[in-house]
């Protein structure tokens, strides 16, 4: 897929204060579904049955005369999500290049949105901001799925149900790699819920229905078709359905239904030059989401399989040189210590099958390995010297191998995640480099999180940035970065020049390093 410009690829959450909508986004349940449908939804919840469309109404239907029956059936499981968080500075001020004299002028007069102290040396106080998103209930006991970016950094999360009832929610677990989060509410009554469908069975041209809370306007439905499948945007595990159903800001985390009332996608992003829908929206495929949700529900975190190899796609020239019938498969370029090496895999092997499924390329292998349970043995077929070899590989856990796992996990080489200058940093591994879309040979520190009240946030650093130099010296570990900071302080400098790379593009940033008195 052609690379998408970052300014055009937008997540579809919304800021309530920016839009000035306040509580205008009420669900307005009574205007959309009948009392009979509401009663049926509650009875289904009490019987622990998912909401679904009438099979007689959708069987063999090519073009529905109306989506009204489908909306009425599944709407009670769709929710509005409002999050509250503290931001270091208000938004909306003018933007100037770093070092511009206009930036200093507006900062001196305390213009909103400009970093630094206001009149009299007083800093701009942190402010609370509300953000809006969507979600859907997947169990009668209150588990709710949404996008991770909807709730990331939130201090408070409130769920508004279709009935108008509001409940606080807690985060059960989240996965930034697929932008999925699982929430939980405690309700005295059973909650209407929906189930996941098989996204692999969705065909280009199939009708779909998107429900959510666009632009804070409250419950809204839009219809369209599946425009494309297997879209890859930026992550290792991406598997998006593209749709022309209208998706706008505030739809983040909302469900994409098929005509049977099953969730086949989670609305996540749009491609847009202006921030509004132009008919190119992306929903993370339900087969990816359901696997992540199952792990979050059981463990509170993901537990992906890890093979332990470095791989590259097989080109036609390579296939011809190796005597392969086609360029399918994943070429093994290196086998460091890990599960694959223990099973006898070698550099130069071409992986053609994993756990009974054909391997088309490196992307399909990475996804299949990630979906496989860690700690279990799987059969891997490799082509070696023109002959197939069957290896039994007991998969490790990727999060532990990368140093991102939970308690008891082994840190990545050079140390695990650490907080430095308001940033949570971790060493850049080849696997993370591939996930971030940069060279596997790049070395540095990945920014996992940035404190919104820190100087790093004021300088524009964000999660996903890669720090490759500090003080004009390469850094590959947190210890090396701390050493550069100490050197700058010992030299009496108040700031340190840091080289970051975002989407492969380099940029120098001067970060304050002076110790607080």
- The number of residues in the chain equals 517
The answer to the question of whether 8 is labelled as a binding residue is: no
Provide the token pair at 485. Answer: 């900071």
Is 149 annotated in a binding site? The answer is yes
Ligand-binding annotation for 274, yes or no, is no
Do 75 and 163 meet the contact criterion of CB atoms below 8 Å apart?
A: no
What tokens does 47 get?
């019987």
Report the alpha-carbon distance of residue 296 to residue 355 in Å, rounded: 23
235 burial level (CB within 10 Å; 0-12, 13-18, 19+)? middle
74, 50 in Cβ contact below 8 A? no
Residue (of 384, 381, 391) closest to 323 by Cα position: 384
The CA distance from 447 to 459, in Å, is 14
Catalytic (active-site) positions? 149, 179, 252
- Site of tokens 């800021």: 15
Map tokens 């599944």 to a residue. Answer: 74
Instruction: Classify burial at 425, counting beta carbons within 10 Å of its beta carbon; exposed 0-12, middle 13-18, buried 19 or more.
Output: buried
What is the DSSP secondary structure assignment for residue 106, as one 8-state letter?
Answer: H
| Spatial contact of 32 and 219, defined as CB atoms under 8 Å apart | yes
Residue given tokens 């992550």 in the structure block: 235
What is the chain's alpha carbon radius of gyration, rounded to the nearest angstrom? 25
For 37, 70, 156, 192, 296, the CA distances from 49, given in Å and listed in that order, are 14, 16, 30, 8, 22
CB-side exposure of 203: number of CA atoms within 13 Å? 3
Residue 244 annotated in ligand binding: no
User: For residue 317, how many C-alpha atoms fall within 13 Å in the half-sphere facing its CB?
Assistant: 0
Query: Which of 295, 292, 394 is CA-nearest to residue 339?
Result: 394
> Six-digit token pair at 20?
């000035």
206 labeled binding residue: no
Residue 260's contacts (CB-CB under 8 Å, 6 or more residues apart) are 52, 53, 55, 58, 197
Binding residues for substrate: 149, 179, 250-252
| Binding site, annotated residues | 149, 179, 250-252
């Amino acid at each position: 897929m052609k690379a998408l410009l970052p300014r055009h690829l937008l997540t579809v959450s919304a800021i309530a204060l920016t839009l000035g909508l306040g509580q205008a986004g009420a669900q307005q349940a009574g205007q959309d579904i009948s009392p009979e449908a509401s009663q049926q939804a509650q009875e289904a919840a009490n019987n622990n049955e998912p909401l679904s469309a009438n099979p007689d109404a959708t069987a063999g239907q090519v073009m529905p005369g109306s989506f009204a029956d489908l909306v009425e059936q599944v709407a009670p499981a769709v929710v509005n999500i409002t999050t509250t968080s503290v931001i270091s500075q208000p938004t909306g001020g003018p933007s100037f290049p770093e070092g511009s004299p206009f930036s200093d002028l507006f900062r001196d007069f305390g213009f909103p949105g400009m970093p630094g102290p206001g009149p009299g040396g007083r800093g701009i106080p942190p402010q609370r901001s509300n953000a809006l998103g969507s979600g859907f209930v997947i169990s009668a006991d209150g588990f709710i799925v949404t996008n991770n970016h909807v709730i990331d950094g939130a201090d408070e999360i409130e769920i508004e149900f279709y009935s108008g009832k509001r409940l606080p929610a807690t985060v059960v677990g989240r996965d930034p790699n697929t932008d999925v989060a699982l929430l939980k509410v405690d309700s005295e009554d059973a909650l209407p819920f929906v189930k996941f469908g098989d996204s692999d069975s969705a065909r280009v041209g199939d009708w779909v229905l998107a429900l959510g809370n666009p632009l804070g306007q409250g419950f809204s439905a839009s219809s369209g078709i599946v425009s494309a499948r297997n879209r890859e945007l930026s992550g290792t595990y991406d598997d998006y359905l593209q749709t022309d159903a209208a998706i706008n800001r505030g739809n983040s985390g909302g469900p994409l239904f098929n005509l049977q009332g099953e969730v086949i996608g989670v609305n996540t992003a749009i491609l847009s030059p202006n921030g509004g829908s132009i008919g190119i929206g992306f929903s993370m495929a339900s087969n990816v989401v359901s696997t992540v949700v199952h792990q979050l529900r059981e463990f509170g975190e993901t537990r992906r399989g890890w093979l332990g190899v470095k791989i590259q796609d097989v080109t036609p020239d390579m296939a011809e040189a190796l005597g392969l019938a086609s360029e399918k498969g994943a070429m093994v370029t290196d086998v460091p210590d890990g599960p694959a090496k223990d099973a006898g895999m070698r550099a130069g092997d071409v992986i053609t099958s994993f756990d009974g499924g054909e391997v088309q390329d490196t992307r399909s292998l990475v996804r299949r390995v990630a979906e496989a349970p860690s700690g279990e043995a799987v059969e891997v077929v490799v082509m070696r010297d023109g002959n197939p070899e069957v290896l039994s590989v007991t998969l490790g856990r990727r999060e532990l191998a990368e140093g991102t796992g939970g308690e008891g996990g082994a840190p990545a080489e050079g140390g695990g995640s650490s907080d430095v200058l308001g940033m949570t940093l971790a060493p850049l591994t080849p696997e993370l480099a591939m996930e971030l879309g940069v060279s596997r040979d790049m070395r540095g520190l990945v920014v996992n999180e940035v404190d919104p009240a820190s100087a790093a946030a004021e300088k524009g650093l964000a999660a996903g940035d890669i720090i490759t130099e500090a003080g004009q010296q390469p850094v590959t570990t947190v210890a090396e970065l701390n050493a550069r900071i100490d050197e700058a302080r010992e030299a009496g400098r108040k700031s340190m020049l840091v080289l970051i790379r975002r989407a492969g593009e380099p940029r120098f940033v001067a970060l304050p390093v002076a110790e607080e008195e």
